[in-house]
Structure 1
Amino acid sequence: MSLSADQIAVNYPTPTYRFRVSVDREEMLFNAVSGLVHSYETIEYKDGLGGQFQMPGQRGGINISLKRGVVRGQAQLYEWISSISLNQVEKKDISITLTNDAGTELLLTWNVVNAFPIKLTAPDFNASTNEFAIEQLDLVADRFTEQIWTPSIE
């Protein structure tokens, strides 16, 4: 039994290669985003009868990595991390939106709150390859939420 395109769109996982990233409402191009992880520390409780219980503790930190190709004249990431001085940093909200294959329909958005850069890694330089120059920005954030987009009915 073959499935129609609509059935495939509903029943199969969404590919991750089509996404948009906005940093404080400025859309930027990245080729990889990683680190959107909700985690909690585990606390072990022991009672007087020898029982052991696992409970969730404090929420774990959120560490996000953004990777993109180096493009002449675009230094927003360097300017952002260079703005850190004397314990002052500009925190920004970031949204990562997964879209359909055509990029026309929003499927799911992760909204990252109060992110700030902690490390900018320059590309690896190697004269024996012809790979693109990729820089990586590592961020720490307070939290993130997910927003599911429902299809519009026309």
Structure 2
Amino acid sequence: MATELTNPYRGFRFRVEISGIQVAAFSEASVPDVNVETVDYREGTDPNYKRPLSGLTSYGRLNLKKGLTDGLDLYNWQQQISQLGSGSPGARKNISLVLMDADGSEKVRWNIINAWPVKYETSGLNAGSSDVMVETLELAMEYMNRIK
């Protein structure tokens, strides 16, 4: 029986879905890392070594980058958090990172649960450059899962 080879997906074809915010496109999105802490443990009857046990799970930050436009949705969301806190109504949003194949079919989906902006920045102004202005939004989250 022959085994079919599957080529890995390329990371350049993706979309970002943010509940309640319409954004045309992002040029870059980072998939947050997931870390499980270890806790060293030793019972009195154990030999002379500690056993690692799983501890708390922590999630990295989601970074989204896009060209700066007239749209204020991302900036206004960050301002809401800055002024009212992440507990204000509508402050935390669910986000999906969707990776597509060459045909545009959805292949991988990461769901980011209860995310909120912790940092907003833009690229610098430079009269000697013709580079596109980029705005970056860094988001914290409660947790993330890959469903596809």
Shorter-chain TM-score: which interval?
0.7 to 0.9
CA distance in 2, matches of 1:56, 1:127: 52
Match of 1:91 in 2: 92
2:34 matches 1:38: yes
Residues 42, 55 of structure 1: alpha-carbon distance in 2 compared, 3 angstrom cutoff: same
CA distance in 2, matches of 1:27, 1:120: 17
Identity among equivalent positions (%) equals: 26
Amino acid of the structure 2 residue aligned with 1:101 = A
* Structure 2 residue runs without a partner (length 5+): none
CA distance in 2, matches of 1:126, 1:41: 43
CA distance in 2, matches of 1:38, 1:134: 27
TM-score, normalization by structure 1:
0.80
Q: CA RMSD in A?
A: 1.9
Amino acid of the structure 2 residue aligned with 1:39 = N
Match of 2:7 in 1: 12
CA distance in 2, matches of 1:46, 1:118: 38
* Structure 1 residue runs without a partner (length 5+): 1-6, 149-154
Deviation at 1:35, TM superposition (A): 4.2
Deviations 1:87-132 (A, max 9, x none): 34411000110001232x1101111110001110121223333221
TM-score, normalization by structure 2:
0.83
Match of 1:65 in 2: 63
